[in-house]
A and B are shown apart, each in its own frame.
Chain A
Amino acid sequence: MSEVTYLEAISQAIREEMRRDEAVFLLGEDVGTYGGAFKVSAGFLEEFGPERVIDTPMSEAAIIGSAVGAALMGMRPIAEMQFIDFIASGFDQIINMASKMYWRSGMPVPMVVRGPSGGGTKGGPFHSASPEAWFFHTPGIKVVVPATAYDAKGLLKAAIRDNNPVLYLEHKLLYRMPELREELPAEDYVVPIGKAVVRREGQDMTILTYGAMVHQSLKAAQTLEEEDDLEVEVLDLRSLAPLDREAILESVKRTNKVLIVHEDTLTGGIGAELAAILSEDLFEYLDGPITRVAAPDAPFPYAPPLEAAYLPDEEKILTAARKLAAY
């Protein structure tokens, strides 16, 4: 077995699911002939044909709307957003159709909306979005964010097999990152939605994070061990909706201090909800303020120095963690 990248893991998941289940199909801009903007679906058209690998017009409303319709008719569509930023154009179909359909009419909508999210690639304000909070807020949608190749494959398979609409946010910075290459199990596997995973154990503080920030947090945790003699636990949430409350509460109850790190902007972000949960459930277990590290409340900048200043990184995590440790 060879090691695969995060991107190849996504590709494998779709291919294997399409082979396993005829109801699974892929639609989106340039997913067919071109093989996808990032080559996730390279070779798919040849293997599965134009009925299951559908190049669509440039309309996210149409892509997602078609997927909702297909799902209602018993298919399991995977709708690709060329960049996740464009999901806003299909917002209505997700919020008003996909999320409410089962609630309203008892008809399940088994579909996946997926696409490259996140910044750090100098993509500017229209190619760097972290849109999770918009959907996290909406009942009826699941939201998952893989941080490793293993999870990228396992979570996508779980998403495809789920009977609810699932927003699957892949991070484009991780696509071909060499250090994320790993050997994946030969046999079929899924990573269950709603289960967080401890990436690093520690007693002095918990970092709650997901996506690309898992890796920045792990670097910071390593530095904190070496330079500050602090043992920091890093919990990769993996699934934002539903949240793994059990894992979150268990960890923070043990460490008594919590730092929340996300790439999305601060206000009304995932961190705000996590903070509220912790404050409600664990107030008397907290030995310091629930602290957030997130992007500032501003549109994503284009200029590279501004982008660097904007994105949370190891340095910003270290600063916050040290302050919290000393609190």
Chain B
Amino acid sequence: MATPVKMPRLGESVAEGTVANWLKKEGDWVERDESLAEIITDKINAELPSPVAGRLTKILVKADETVPVGVDIALIEENADVTASPPAEAAPGPDAAPVETPNQATIPVIEQRTVAPAGGNGASAVPQQARPERIGEEERQRISPLARRLAREHDIDLNAIAGTGIGGRVRRDDILAYIAARSQREPVTAAAAVTQAAAPARPAPPTPPPPAVPSAPSMKPEPAPAAPPAPTVAGEDEEVVTPSRMRLAIAEHMVRSKRTSPHATTVVEVDMTNIAKWLEKHKDEFKKREGYGISFVPFVMKAVCEGIRQVPLMNSSWTEDNKIIIKKRINLGIAVATDLGLVVPTIHDADQYTIAGLAKQVAAVAQRARANKLTIQDMQGSTFVVNNPGTFGTIISVPIINQPHAGILSMDAVVKRPVVIEDDAIAVRSMMYLCLSFDHRILDGAGAASFLQAVRTKLQSYGREIDVY
């Protein structure tokens, strides 16, 4: 009996994943928990451990293909004895996996379903349209009967909804909130559709016929994804780039954040001279001793924890039913630039660490991020984000909130500037701007300013000797 390997659910709201790479070939022997493949979702990249030990007899989903969560992507023969197994000779590489099995034919080509069509995706996809929807719904086990009915009546794709019940179950209130949110959105999409229709200037290729769901003449307004924009065509001196999934995820999040939270930004200037001097003196020795580096970042994180302690609203979320949830744990997201784009892994309970401890955590998540080894844990539960564009030399930034947080803090470059100090003397000091974007629904300028004051006071409280442990 072959054991199927299924596309895992990497995160509660994730409905599908892409096989980035097969790390094993057909015919290879794998141990239990040995990595089989790299999986990419819009939330996280992860290696897929083998559920059993055995021989990988069949790869069902090729590299770069995307399938819904729960779909079989490979078969492993547990009892495959070595001699009886298919010859490994000319074992097909990951790209050559056979596509003929009936199962396979039903695997949708995702780019079509969630991600906006990047280009006419071949006619072969059309007849497959009916199935993926069903797989998606069956897969989504945790739905109350009422929620299921409401979703059907309101034409809602349940995979688009994050459940708030136990185990992520979708319940009545989730659907109602979604409907309310959608009805606010709807005029916008409708308007967009109109503009499109009224702009026939583009040499749009014949729009592919709508998916072959039998109800062709339905006049019902379809949910948003049903009105795809006309495909972009590169003009002269132009090049069309198809964004990566990560880029698309970031784009979606940024638009949603700006639409969700009324951003206000406020800036304070912090004298980092003592910290700068300490770093200058101890940085190399610290790294040699500890095996990881230290920078301004852990100092700022420490100070942010202090600020949150004084202004707990900074560590909260505005909910869809117009409540504010104050988070008791301080889990700081830290923005890390990687080759693929920006990721924001979480340092849980950041307030429980010393400065050195924070430096260690930052080094660890940054390393995992760059090596593409972030875990689901890393990507969940952050309550506030610290961003450090200063490493790129910027002096003032206006960050966009990482939803559903109340704020995000940007630390910009620490630069030496002549500053007027006590007794009107002028001195050269290491100065830094801290820019806080905050959700104006949750708090006002006064609250934001007192948070920044607390952060600044903490950062300026260090003397020449600093105990980072």
Contacts and interface: CB of A to CB of B under 8 A. Distances in A.
Interface stretch (B32-40, B164-172, B184-192, B446-454): B164-172
B165 A284 contact: no
A286 B146 contact: yes
Interface string B144-163: 11111100000000000000
Contacts of A287: 144-147, 171-172
Q: What's the interface size class on B, roughly?
A: 10 to 19
Contacts of B149: 284-285
Contacts of B169: 327
B172 A284 contact: no
Contacts of A284: 145-146, 148-149
Contacts of A283: 145
A326 interface: yes
A256 B144 CA distance: 10
A283 B146 CA distance: 8
Most buried by B among A283, A284, A326: A284
A285 B146 contact: yes
Interface string A202-246: 000000000000000000000000000000000000000000000
A241 B197 CA distance: 63
A263 B196 CA distance: 65
A286 B147 CA distance: 8
A288 interface: yes
Contacts of B147: 287
Interface residues of A, number: 9
A286 B146 CA distance: 5
A327 B145 contact: no
B109 to A, nearest CB: 33
Contacts of B172: 256, 287
B165 A326 contact: yes
Interface in A313-327: 326-327
A267 to B, nearest CB: 24
Most buried by A among B144, B149, B169: B144
Contacts of B145: 283-287
Interface in B117-156: 144-149
Interface string A38-66: 00000000000000000000000000000
Contacts of B148: 284
Nearest to A326: B166
Contacts of A288: 144, 165, 171
Nearest to A288: B144
Most buried by B among A287, A288, A327: A287
Contacts of B144: 256, 286-288, 327
Nearest to B142: A327
A327 B146 CA distance: 13
Interface string B223-234: 000000000000
Contacts of A285: 145-146, 149
Interface string A274-307: 0000000001111110000000000000000000
A327 B166 CA distance: 5
A284 B144 CA distance: 8
B132 to A, nearest CB: 24
Contacts of A327: 144, 165-166, 169, 171
A324 B189 CA distance: 37
Contacts of A256: 144, 146, 172
Contacts of B166: 326-327
Interface in A184-216: none
Nearest to A255: B172
A262 to B, nearest CB: 24
Nearest to B167: A327
A281 to B, nearest CB: 12
A197 to B, nearest CB: 26
A97 B169 CA distance: 51
A288 B166 CA distance: 11
A215 B149 CA distance: 34
A69 B215 CA distance: 68
A326 B168 CA distance: 10
Nearest to A285: B146
Contacts of A286: 144-146
A18 B149 CA distance: 54
Interface in B40-86: none
A18 B93 CA distance: 95
A288 B167 CA distance: 13
A287 B172 CA distance: 6
A256 B165 CA distance: 14
B168 to A, nearest CB: 12
Nearest to B169: A327
A286 B145 CA distance: 6
Nearest to A286: B145
A327 B144 CA distance: 9
Most buried by A among B146, B148, B171: B146
A263 to B, nearest CB: 28
A287 B145 CA distance: 6
A141 B166 CA distance: 42
Nearest to A283: B145
Interface in A77-106: none
Contacts of B165: 288, 326-327
Nearest to B174: A287
Contacts of B171: 287-288, 327
A83 B58 CA distance: 72
Interface in B368-390: none
A327 B143 CA distance: 10
Nearest to A253: B146
A326 B149 CA distance: 20
A35 to B, nearest CB: 53
Contacts of A326: 165-166
A131 B154 CA distance: 46
A171 B147 CA distance: 40
Nearest to B175: A287
A256 B175 CA distance: 14
Interface of B: 144-149, 165-166, 169, 171-172
Given A287-B171, A326-B166, A327-B169, 14 more contacts: A256-B144, A256-B146, A283-B145, A284-B146, A286-B144, A286-B145, A286-B146, A287-B144, A287-B147, A288-B165, A288-B171, A326-B165, A327-B166, A327-B171
5 contacts: A284-B145, A285-B145, A286-B144, A288-B171, A327-B171
Sorted from nearest, which 4 A-B pairs have the closest CB atoms?
A284-B149, A287-B146, A287-B172, A287-B144
